[in-house]
Amino acid sequence: MAIRTRSQNDGKTDTIGQHVALIGYARVSTADQKLALQLDALSAAGCDRIFDDYASGAKADRPGLAEALTYLRTGDTLVVWKLDRLGRSMSHLIEKVGELAARGVGFRSLTEQIDTTTSGGMLVFNIFGSLAQFERDLIRERTHAGLRAARERGSQGGRRPVVTPDKLRKARAHIAAGLTVREAAARLKIGKTALYKALESA
């Protein structure tokens, strides 16, 4: 992770004389990929300081991002090249931008031209949030419908039982022949605890 700075004279100043900064964050998934494109775009946008990571978007541990979030102050704006540089998913992105807003920090994505410090940019982002919630509700509704249909067909959702009816029948035969439950479970390559539960519930 590297930190890149530019002259503080390039930054903005608020009404009480406190420096208000544009803080950049760049990320690539592997060391083989190059940060140059993102760094150039962030510098051209006027970022006072740029933090970066070499980490997959799915990875929760991103030290550069953590340092950038710690560095941000009220009135600052976090700037990224694209939306997917910040969030692991749409819901994660919305969560992060919401956390920034609660701290009085803006968010700006250069490629999508979204800036939450403007009313239009905030409106667009709120629409994204509504679409993400709609997608989650749709997935949940489809999942419930699928489980309901499976139950109506006589099938139960979830993981298949470890002890199938055939294995339970064989286990009983082994036990009747003198094997212990542990020995029967080992012979059938199933867990002893699972077999005990199956025997008790049958």
CB 175 within 8 A of CB 185: no
Of 78, 76, 89, whose CA–CA distance to 19 is shortest?
76
CA dihedral 83, 84, 90, 94 (to 10 degrees): -50
Of 75, 72, 80, whose CA–CA distance to 109 is shortest?
80
Catalytic machinery residues: 29
Measured CA to CA in angstroms, residue 192 lies from 54, 164, 183 at distances of 45, 14, 9
Q: Say if strands 49-54 and 22-28 run parallel, antiparallel, or are unpaired.
A: parallel
Residue 115 CB coordination number (10 Å):
19
Of the CA atoms within 13 Å of residue 180, those in its CB half-sphere come to 5
